[in-house]
Amino acid sequence: MERGDYRIKVDLHVHTVSSGHAYSTVEECARWAAEKGLEAIAVTDHGPAVPGSGNIYHFWNLKVIPRRLHGVVILRSVEANILDTEGTLDLPDKVLAALDVVHAGLHPYTGYQGESVEENTAALLSAVRHPLVDIIVHPDNPAFPVDMEAVVEAAVREGKALEVNNSSFTYTRSGSEENCRRMVRLLAERKGLVAVGSDAHVASFAGEFGEAIEILRETDMAPSSVINYSIERLEEFLARRGKQLRLE
């Protein structure tokens, strides 16, 4: 792996119709991912606190989705909602423990009441400490300002990844760029980990990482620090977290 080589082969953040505000099926997302040469996608539909999203049975029943569609590995995942400053998530641990990868983040209209930097930071720090959470999604969202240095230090200490979310720079979360650059610089200094996600809400956006990769280049973030550079790299990350990725 050469420095500056960001040919990322796994999209860890893809939504389907089960999110309620996304517009493609798992099969459609896999087909587009295959056309773009991806090895795997994670189906990360929103947790139940997002209006219109899947209920607990959706996530419990992800086991019925084939492990491969169109040659693409399908990872069973969730974009769980952080509900309070204690880091409470909107799915029980028993369900989270059955998933391949667990994302967590702050979202509007989910019941989260925090408004201050202190409250938002406490919520993310609590989620980082949650033993089943692997990735904190879009922590650079200006709608939920945080003490980024504290969040980065906690993520490095706990061996968790912070997300560089491509859609934050294209059609959602306007104004994230500077927060993201600072986050990635701090991670690079501390040898932390990043996850890159398209946050696709339609199948054709799966595997779209262009703006996120530009930020990695600008901040000279090592490709070896990207946990989803390849399926092997993701397996290594999860193994260090005590999780075995079963692909059959």
Q: Is the pLDDT of residue 40 over 70?
A: yes
Confidence of residue 6 (pLDDT cuts 50, 70, 90): confident
Tell me which DSSP letter residue 12 carries.
Answer: E
Which pLDDT tens digit goes with each residue over 212-234? 999 999 999 999 999 999 999 99
Question: 232 is written with which tokens?
Answer: 């092997």
Range of lowest pLDDT (61-65, 158-162, 166-170): 166-170
Question: 171 is written with which tokens?
Answer: 């059609």
Q: Which amino acid is at 153?
A: E
pTM for the model: 0.95
**In this predicted structure, what is the pLDDT of residue 3?**
56
Give the three-class secondary structure for 179: helix
The sign one gets for the Cα dihedral 58, 89, 209, 99 is: negative
**In this predicted structure, what is the pLDDT of residue 99?**
98
**In this predicted structure, what is the pLDDT of residue 173?**
66
Give the three-class secondary structure for 230: coil
Q: Which amino acid is at 138?
A: H
Alpha helices in 18-147 (DSSP H): 26-35, 56-60, 93-96, 117-129
Cβ atoms of residues 46 and 107 within 8 Å: yes
Confidence of residue 75 (pLDDT cuts 50, 70, 90): very high
Q: Cα angle vertex 7, ends 37, 176, to 5°? A: 110
**In this predicted structure, what is the pLDDT of residue 1?**
44
Q: Is the pLDDT of residue 104 over 50?
A: yes
What is the Cβ-side half-sphere exposure of residue 44, based on CA atoms within 13 angstroms?
Answer: 26
Helices 177-190, 148-158: crossing angle, 10 deg rounding = 40
Which pLDDT tens digit goes with each residue over 135-153? 999 999 999 999 999 999 9
Q: Which amino acid is at 1?
A: M
Tell me which DSSP letter residue 167 carries.
Answer: G
Bridge partner residues of 102 (DSSP)? 78
Helices 148-158, 117-129: crossing angle, 10 deg rounding = 10
What is the Cβ-side half-sphere exposure of residue 6, based on CA atoms within 13 angstroms?
Answer: 25
Confidence of residue 171 (pLDDT cuts 50, 70, 90): confident
Average confidence score pLDDT of the chain? 95
